């Protein structure tokens, strides 16, 4: 299980990095999203993996040992929201750049 997740993170990160090194703005934005998946999974992994141990307590008397570490999840939630915001922003800037420079090259130069 750990192996799979690690591989998954690796693949996502790799394809993301490859994309952000491309010259087209659209490629860059896709790459950023992929990387953000990778990072989110990475953070989650930092809490070690547990199955069927969702941090949702049943009643007052709960034994912490039965639940997965909630901290990374909280971090990931924040990260997701911010990531969403940033992606949207980047998208719009990208559109504006495309509008003003007339093409979608990251440096705004003509092909």
Partner 1 sequence: MPFLACILAYALQGRLSSGAVYVSGGVAALLFLITLLLFPQISAVGVLSHRIEWIPQLGLNLTLRMDGLAWLFCVLITLIGLLVVLYARYYMSPKDPVARFYALLLAFMGAMLGLVLSGNIIQLAVFWELTGLVSFLLIGYWYHRGDARDGARMALIVTGMGGLALFVAMLLIGHIVGSYELDDVLASGSTLVDSPLYPVTLILFLLAAFTKSAQFPFQFWLPNAMTAPTPVSAYLHSATMVKAGVFLLTRFWPVMSDSELWFAIVTYTGLATLIFGAAAALFQRDLKGLLAYSTISHLGLITTLLGMGTPLAAVAAIFHIANHATFKASLFMVVGIIDHETGTRDVRKLSGLRRFMPFTATFAIIACGAMAGVPLLNGFLSKEMFFTETAVFNPNAFVNLSLPIGATIAGMLSVAYSIKFVHGVFFGPPPTELDRVPHEPPALMRRPMELLVVVCLAVGIIPGITIGPFLASAVQSVLGADTPYYSLSVWHGFNWPLLMSLLAMLGGVVIYVPYYRRFRDVDGLPFLTRFRGQRIFERLLVNATNKWARSFIELFGTQRLQPQIFIVVLLALLAGVAAGWARMGNLPLPESFDPVLGLVWVLGGVSAIAAAQQARFHRLAAMILMGGAGLATCITFAWLSAPDLALTQLLAEIATTVLILLGLRWLPKRLPVPDDLTLRSRARRARDIGLAVLVGLGAALASYAVMTRGAPTGISEFFLANAYKQGGGTNVVNVMLVDFRGFDTMGEITVLGVVALTVFALLRRFRPAADSADRPEQQRLLDGSAEGQRLADDFLRIPALIMTWLFPVVIAIAIYMLLRGHDLPGGGFIAGIILSLAFILQYMANGTRWVEERLRVLPVLWIGWGLGLAMLTGLGAMALGAPFLTSAFAYAEIPLIGKIPLATALLFDLGVFALVVGATVLMLIALAHQSIRRPKPAGSAKPREREGLAKWN
Partner 2 sequence: MAALNHIAILPILVPMAAVIANLLLGNLRPPSRVRLNLAFSVVLALVSILLLVALAQSDGHLAAVYPLGNWPVPFGIVLVADRLAAVMVLVTSILSLAALVYASARWHSRGTNFFPLFHALTMGLNGAFLTGDLFNLFVFFELLLAASYGLTLHGGGRNQVKAALHYIAINLVASFLFLIGVALIYATTGTLNMADIARAVPLIAPDDRGLFDAGAAVLGVAFLIKAGSWPLHFWLPRTYSSAAPPVAALFAVMTKVGFYAILRLWTLVFANSSGPELAFGQNVLLVLGLATISFGSIGALSSKALDRLASYLILVSAGTLLLAVGYNAPGVTSGALYYVVVATLAAGALFLLKDVIDQILPAEAQVLAVSLEIYGDEEEAADDVDEVSRTVPGAATLVSWCFAIAALIMAGLPPLSGFVSKFAMISAALGAGPTAATWWFIAALIVSGFLVLVAMVRNGINIFWTSLPDSDTPLVRTAELAPIVVLLALCVALALAAGPAMAFFTETAAFIHSPQGYVDVVLPREATP
Q: Which residues bind partner 2 (CB under 8 A)?
A: 20, 25, 28, 32, 35-36, 39, 42-43, 46-47, 71-72, 75, 78-79, 82, 85-86, 89-90, 93-94, 96-97, 100-101, 106-108
Beta-ladder partners of 24: 105
Q: Which does 80 bind (CB under 5 to 8 A by kind): partner 1, partner 2, none?
A: partner 1
| Cβ contact 55:84 at 8 Å | no
CA 37 to chain centre: 3
Which has the closest alpha carbon to 23: 90, 105, 101? Answer: 105
110 near partner 1, rule: CB under 8 A: no
100 near partner 1, rule: CB under 8 A: yes
């Amino acid at each position: 299980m750990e192996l799979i997740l690690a591989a998954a993170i690796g693949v996502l990160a790799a394809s993301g990095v490859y994309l952000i090194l491309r010259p087209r703005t659209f490629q860059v934005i896709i790459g950023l999203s992929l990387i953000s998946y990778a990072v989110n999974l990475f953070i989650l992994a930092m809490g070690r993996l547990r199955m069927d141990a969702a941090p949702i307590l049943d009643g007052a008397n709960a034994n912490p040992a039965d639940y997965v570490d909630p901290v990374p999840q909280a971090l990931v939630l924040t990260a997701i929201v911010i990531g969403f915001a940033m992606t949207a922003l980047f998208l719009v800037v990208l559109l504006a750049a495309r509008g003003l420079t007339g093409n979608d090259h990251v440096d705004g130069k003509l092909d």
